[in-house]
Amino acid sequence: QVQLVESGGGLVQAGGSLRLSCAASGSFFSLYTMSWHRLAPGHQRELVAAITTDGGTNYGDFVKGRFTISRDNAKKTVYLQMNSLEPEDTAVYYCNGGRDLDSYWGQGTQVTVSS
């Protein structure tokens, strides 16, 4: 049983920054690929960023250097640092952890960027 809890969302003006956190329960956090996805009204869920067990990262094309994903295995937490936010970034951001055939999702945290 793995639980993921996101936090750090909120309202921010365009050009501002937010740091999202995803705290995980359970064991074997360091063996999970962690990722952030987002879902906006009228849009499909899309990958924002992912980080593998060995620290490799992958970002959605829209990120364009603005976001950074990181993980702290000791704290069992994954972060998403978001800079230069745009109104188009407004969405619910979800944390995901995957290992083998297992996939876990958090409840999401709302990010709203005003113009």
Can you list the residues of the chain whose pLDDT is less than 50? none
Annotate 66-96 with DSSP letters as a single string: SEEEEEETTTTEEEEEE-S--GGG-EEEEEE
Model pLDDT, residue 77: 98
CA distance 8 to 27: 23
Length of the chain: 115
Tell whether the torsion through CA atoms of 44, 10, 83 and 19 is positive or negative: negative
Model pLDDT, residue 2: 87
